[in-house]
Amino acid sequence: MAATPTSGERHRCRICAGSVRECLDLGSQPVSNTYPKNVSESAVPRFRLAIGVCTTCAMVQQTEQVPAQSMYGAEYPFRTSTSALMSDHFHTTARDIVSKLSGISDPFFVEIGCNDGTLLGRVAGAGIRHLGVDPAGDAAETAVRGGARVMVDYFGETSAKAVRARHGTADVVYSANTISHIGAIDEVFRGLDVLLSRDGAFVVEDRYLADIIEGTYFDQIYDEHIYLFSVRSVSNLASLFGFEVVDAERLGTHGGSMRYTISRRGGRAASPAVAAALALEDRRGLDDPDTYVRFGQRVENTRAELVGLLRDLRTRGASVVGYGATSKSATVLNYCGIGPDLLPFVCDSTPGKQGRLTPGSWIPIRPPEAFVPYPDYALLFAWNHAEEIMSKERAFSEGGGHWITYVPEVRVTSPSR
């Protein structure tokens, strides 16, 4: 198992049927968002996690088939609202959307992957006609309780036709951290073609490839993230379906994201931000497989340092626990071979994860209350919420505790007393 270049094997692009050169292999990995109650290999399917870059459309994508279990069924545990940072982000975004839509008579807003309605509830609260489309039934129930209207389904041509027949065309279709999870992403664009009004905007937010590479965020690579988007690859994708990227706005969420505004081709003038982002992506070599080979070398260094540090702490008798049973942590734990011998438990605030085990590495997940009595060290898997968590757990570092982070490289904080 090595994060080095693989054989450079060729695969067929999921987007354009061009040639994808595999350039990074993170070995055998479990499905990330499945938290079994007992050690149960059969409950957590495994697959080989590898990515490659398409030589035609530049889309960075997983090269292997991800186990086709229903990743987003009723029990999908992720909840947007568990993070104050993300709640704030979506509340601000909802305010912007409402203000943009206020110039349109009787606007209609659709959110693909509305989860618990953190954003959609705000749009609904402003009295705007709206609909969420999300297959995760339990999360959608929360959204409905919060006053939003939701259709529990996958978004695609068929569901879009049903929505259009009932509500008419949509002025804005919005989706955050969702469409990169959909292997058959052509379905999304076919649905969009049915549903979006002539001048409508498709607004998509997702983790940004340039930031992933720069920050060595190798843990952003896991089963659900079938695609790692860049402005170049999203532009190429959109153009296959008669759309174009007309704006690209950097966001701070998830360690670095991009918000793409996509419209029907010729519908709007492109902002200069699009050309600027494309130029940056060229300078960073995002289409060049060698970029990923160098990335893989940095990932290997991180693994060696992190495992070395944890072993050293164990030898010295220091206590270490994990913080945040993120999806991302599945890649870190399984790639590095970290189990309960090095990390006895991980704290997490999500009720649906507590009392269960991390997939494949079988580390117990406990509520944040289990963080007390404080360990000597805490390995922060939810690094995208570092500020929020470190401030919430200030007493840990004030009492002499050290945080361990591993992106962009392995670091140990000094206690703040």
Binding mask 280-319 for ligand TYD (x = CB under 6 A): ----------------------------------------
Three-state SS letters, 173-190: EEEECCHHHCCCHHHHHH
Residue 363 near ligand TYD by CB under 6 A:
no
Determine the interface stretch with Zn ion among 50-58, 107-115, 118-126, 287-295 (rule: CB under 5 A).
50-58
Do residues 217 and 253 touch, judged by C-beta distance below 8 A?
A: no
How far is 223 from 182, CA to CA, in rounded Å? 11
- Residue in the structure block whose two tokens are 């919420």: 385
Going by the DSSP 8-state scheme, the letter that residue 307 receives in this structure is H
Looking at 111, 205, 223, 348, which residue binds ligand TYD (CB under 6 A)?
348
Q: Which of 203, 131, 137 is nearest to 165 (CA)?
A: 131
Contacts of 48 (CB under 8 A, 6+ apart): 25, 27, 28, 29, 64
The reply to whether 388 sits near ligand TYD by the rule CB under 6 A is yes
Of Zn ion, ligand TYD, none, which one does residue 392 interact with (CB within 5 to 8 Å by kind)? ligand TYD
Cβ proximity to ligand TYD: between 235 and 326 the closer is 326
Q: Does 16 bind Zn ion (CB under 5 A)?
A: yes
The label of the residue with tokens 């164990």 reads: 314
Q: Is there binding between residue 56 and Zn ion (CB under 5 A)?
A: yes
Q: How far apart are CA 21 and CA 180, in angstroms?
A: 19
Closest CA to 322 of 284, 286, 358, 276: 358
Among the listed ranges 16-24, 100-108, 141-149, 388-396, the one in contact with ligand TYD (CB under 6 A) is 388-396
Q: Is 57 in the site for Zn ion (CB under 5 A)?
A: yes
List the interface residues with ligand TYD, window 76-115 (CB under 6 A): 78, 82-83
Q: Which stretch binds ligand TYD (CB under 6 A): 4-12, 256-264, 285-293, 382-390?
A: 382-390
Positions that interact with ligand TYD (CB under 6 A): 78, 82-83, 324-328, 348-350, 353, 368, 382, 384-385, 388-389, 392
